[in-house]
Amino acid sequence: MPREEQLKSPPGAPIGVFDSGLGGLTVVRAIQRLMPGESIVYFGDTARVPYGNKSARTVQQFAWQCLNFLARSQPKLMVIACNTVSAIALEALVNAFPVPLIGVLEPGATAAVQAARARVPAGECSVGLIATEATVASRGYQMAIARLDRGVQVVARACPLLVPLIEEGRSSRSVVVRMVLEEYLEPLRQISPLALILGCTHYPIFSDVIADVMGGDTMLVDSATQTAHVVRSRLESLGLLSAGAAGKLSCYVTDQGQRFEMVASQFLGRPVGQPVWVDPESIERQALEIK
Ligand code: DGL
């Protein structure tokens, strides 16, 4: 029996959203826009972010520990908002929890193929991908796109400096951000892809300058909105959509740095209430006890 058939949580249970840090609040924002009645429990592993430059083994281990913690709030469904975790660990995690689990890669790949095919309905065409080093190296997006449409080629570029710049609070108006993007995007600009996947939770923050550097011919694809649609149709098909009017958001983080409020509100698009701090050692211990 698939693990999710063991699910017992009622429609009023929350949706769990997990990310390596606070960038996954872009996915929370998209879910809240589409389904304002849903309550959300968010877990950001802010003590150990970034995951994007870590080995696959470490990312899998951290992700397992964090989802194990999130599962304690008895969510009806969990979303892996982190592209790096979705690329590296989703398959293994889907079978480890008795809750439906949705990653951001398939939704992002679907949106990119749809955007490309809306403009070039048949034959060969290309889309671009920018993401963390780990996501690019995993070839997860490339494989997801090939499964959907073999005619769509992916040209990928890792952009490791973007996450630290955003976490530093640099805005898209910063000269440094523009310089870094001009260098990263140059090879992509040359092929002028039909669509560019923002394959990292953080990158939508820089979407205006990314669009400007790429020029008007490339459509930006952000997987958050498409993921929210996938969440809604999955809940619908399971008969688990909430009947409530206004859902709650509770945030858990493994490190509550001084910049929490500034960075979190940037991703969510509005102020975020105080998060609950969770000791990363305790989630490691709990995960060990279960294994
Ligand atoms: N959440 C990560 C992603 O979407 C970006 C931050 C990190 O490297 O952990 O890939």
Catalytic residue among 82, 125, 159, 251: 82
> Which sign, positive or negative, has the C-alpha torsion 265, 271, 272, 273?
positive
Q: Write a three-state SS string for the chain.
A: CCHHHHCCCCCCCCEEEEECCCCCHHHHHHHHHHCCCCCEEEEECCCCCCCCCCCHHHHHHHHHHHHHHHHHHCCCEEEECCHHHHHHHHHHHHCCCCCCEEECHHHHHHHHHHHHHHHCCCCCEEEEEEECHHHHHHCHHHHHHHHHCCCEEEEEEECCCHHHHHHCCCCCCCHHHHHHHHHHHHHHHHHCCCEEEEECCCHHHHHHHHHHHHCCCCEEEEHHHHHHHHHHHHHHHHCCCCCCCCCCEEEEECCCCCCHHHHHHHHHCCCCCCCEECCHHHHHHHHHHHC
Position 4, amino acid? E
Residues paired with 47 in a beta bridge? none
Choose the residue to mutate in 53, 84, 136, 198 for probing ligand 1, maximizing ligand atoms within 8 Å of C-beta.
84
The share of the chain scoring above pLDDT 70, in percent, equals: 97
Between 105-119 and 140-148, two packed helices, what is the crossing angle to 10 degrees? Answer: 50
Residue holding tokens 């899998």? 60
| Averaged pLDDT for residues 123-137 | 96
The residues spanned by each domain of the chain are: 3-103+225-290, 106-223
60 in Cβ contact with 80 (< 8 Å): no
Can you give the pLDDT at residue 284? 87
Q: Is 66 exposed, middle or buried (0-12, 13-18, 19+ CB in 10 A)?
A: buried
Q: For the chain, what is the mean pLDDT? A: 93
Q: What local confidence, expressed as pLDDT, does residue 291 receive? A: 60
**Nearest residue to 230 (alpha-carbon basis) of 101, 140, 112:** 101
CA distance 91 to 88: 8
Q: Among candidates 284, 134, 142, 159, which has minimal Cα distance to 213?
A: 159
pLDDT digits (tens, 9 = 90+) for 2-50: 454 455 689 999 999 999 999 999 999 999 999 999 999 999 999 999 9
Task: Given CATH 3.40.50.1860, say whether it is the number of domain 3-103+225-290.
Answer: yes
Residue 193 has pLDDT above 60, yes or no: yes
When mean pLDDT is compared across 103-117, 122-136, 140-154, 256-270, the lowest value belongs to 256-270
CA distance linking residue 71 with residue 101, whole number of Å: 11
Q: Do domains 3-103+225-290 and 106-223 have the same CATH topology?
A: yes
Question: Which residues contact ligand 1 via a Cβ below 6 A?
Answer: 19-21, 23, 49-52, 82-84, 132, 135, 163, 200-202
Kindly report the protein residue whose alpha carbon is nearest to atom 1 of ligand 1.
82
| pLDDT over 50 (residue 1) | no
The confidence score (pLDDT) of residue 95 equals 87
What average pLDDT does this structure show over 107-136? 96
Query: In terms of pTM, does the model score above 0.85?
Result: yes
Is 82 an active-site residue?
yes
- In ligand 1, which atom is closest to the CA atom of 19? 1
pLDDT for 83 beyond 70: yes
Instruction: Give domain 106-223's CATH architecture.
Output: 3-Layer(aba) Sandwich (3.40)
Q: What is the mean pLDDT of residues 69-76?
A: 96
Query: What are the pLDDT digits (tens) for 169-188?
Result: 899 999 999 999 999 999 99
